[in-house]
């Protein structure tokens, strides 16, 4: 079963568990230009312009995370792609894939803008732009 954590809960887990890893599953453009959590590893779930699922996603994670029981926290823009990526890792035998709800930018507000209602940046957690 996929665990869902808020950005704050994810940050706390990363601080408390040395085996936990944060994987940013957004596109290269999002990761570079919108910003990304400090210490995250970038492995895109989908990439523009085709938006096809990255056929190497699970293999790339397996190269990074050797212990199937390590917590793997997954982050995208709003928590949807990361949930799909978490399910793929669960299907591949990982026992603790974790979806970060609201992702990096959070849900859309009434003006269809992100970043005003939730997400990693909104919560004031460490991030940077490339």
Residue 48 has pLDDT above 90, yes or no: no
Assess if residue 31 is contained within a domain: no
Is 4 part of any domain?
A: yes
Cβ neighbors of 5 (< 8 A, separation 6 or more) are: 13, 73, 98, 99, 100, 101
User: Is this structure's pTM higher than 0.85?
Assistant: yes
CATH code (residue 66): 3.40.250.10
Residue 46 lies in a domain: no
Short-list 29, 25, 5, 15, CA closest to 102: 5
Is 114 part of any domain? yes
Q: What is the pLDDT of residues 66-113, one digit of tens each?
A: 999 999 999 999 989 999 999 999 999 999 999 999 999 999 999 999
Q: Please give the pLDDT value at position 101.
A: 96
Q: Residue 42: inside a domain, yes or no?
A: no
Is residue 109 situated within a structural domain?
A: yes
What's the structural domain count of the chain? 1
- Mean of the pLDDT values across residues 36-62? 96
Residue 32, domain member (yes or no): no
What's the token pair of residue 76?
């995208």
């Amino acid at each position: 079963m996929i665990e869902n954590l808020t950005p704050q809960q994810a940050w706390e887990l990363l601080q408390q568990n040395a085996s936990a890893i944060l994987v940013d599953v957004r596109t290269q453009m999002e990761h570079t230009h919108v910003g990304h959590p400090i210490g995250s590893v970038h492995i895109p779930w989908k990439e523009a312009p085709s938006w096809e699922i990255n056929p190497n996603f699970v293999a790339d994670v397996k190269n990074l995370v050797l212990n199937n029981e390590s917590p793997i926290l997954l982050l995208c823009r709003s928590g949807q792609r990361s949930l799909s990526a978490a399910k793929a890792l669960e299907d591949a035998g990982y026992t603790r894939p974790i979806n970060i709800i609201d992702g990096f930018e959070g849900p859309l507000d009434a003006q269809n803008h992100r970043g005003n209602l939730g997400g990693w940046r909104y919560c004031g957690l460490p991030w940077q732009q490339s």
